[in-house]
Structure 1
Amino acid sequence: MTDLAPIMEKTHEWASKYAKKKGFILNPDEEMLMMVIEGLSKNKHEHGKQYCPCRLRTGDTEEDRKIICPCVYHEDEIENDGNCHCSLFFKV
């Protein structure tokens, strides 16, 4: 089994920078945040892309491109629900 720690560290760093740039915050629940970071990191390692861990891949490259984090749905979800579906990014 691969040590995901380095990938998780890079993913967390990326997510923090992205959130700051977009005016979001990361999930304040550290345990939940790390679960999402781990899911993104596993997908990056296993599939080569950081697919949202809360969405199912279809196997269709074009369709699945929509669910690479940050997915095409996240901004609307944050605006409407206060957070994205995966609970990675939250409205300030």
Structure 2
Amino acid sequence: MTDLAPIMEKTHEWASKYAQKKGFILNPDEEALNMVIEGLSRNKQEHGKQYCPCRLRTGNEDEDRKIICPCIFHHDEIENDGSCHCSLFFKV
């Protein structure tokens, strides 16, 4: 297994840019943020896609495509709950 740190760095950079572009903020709790970034990075490393770590993959490629971060659910979750299910992106 390769070192996860470079993948985590790229994932964090991507998430920051995405949040800024969409008018969100990243989780202000650094520990929680790092846990989500680590989960996304581990999924990228092990499965080739940054699947949301808070959602279960089904093994069905078409279904699982919906949970690649940013997943299809995040806009509604942020609007309705203030953050996405994984607590990566938050409403400003």
Give TM-score scaled by structure 2 length: 0.99
Counterparts of 1:75 and 1:31, CA distance in 2 = 23
2:52 is the counterpart of 1:58: no
Counterparts of 2:32 and 2:5, CA distance in 1 = 16
Letter in 2 for 1:10: K
Cα distance, 1:2 vs structure 2: 2.0
Residue of structure 1 in register with 2:6 after alignment: 6
| Aligned pairs (5 A) from 1:14-29 | 14-29=14-29
| Aligned pairs (5 A) from 1:10-89 | 10-89=10-89
Q: Any stretches of 5+ residues in structure 1 without a counterpart? A: none
Letter in 2 for 1:17: K
Number of matched residues?
A: 92
The runs of at least 4 consecutive aligned structure 1 residues that moved more than 3 Å come to none
Cα distance, 1:71 vs structure 2: 0.0
Give TM-score scaled by structure 1 length: 0.99
Counterparts of 2:3 and 2:62, CA distance in 1 = 29
Q: Secondary structure at the match of 1:87?
A: coil
Aligned-residue sequence identity (percent) comes to 87
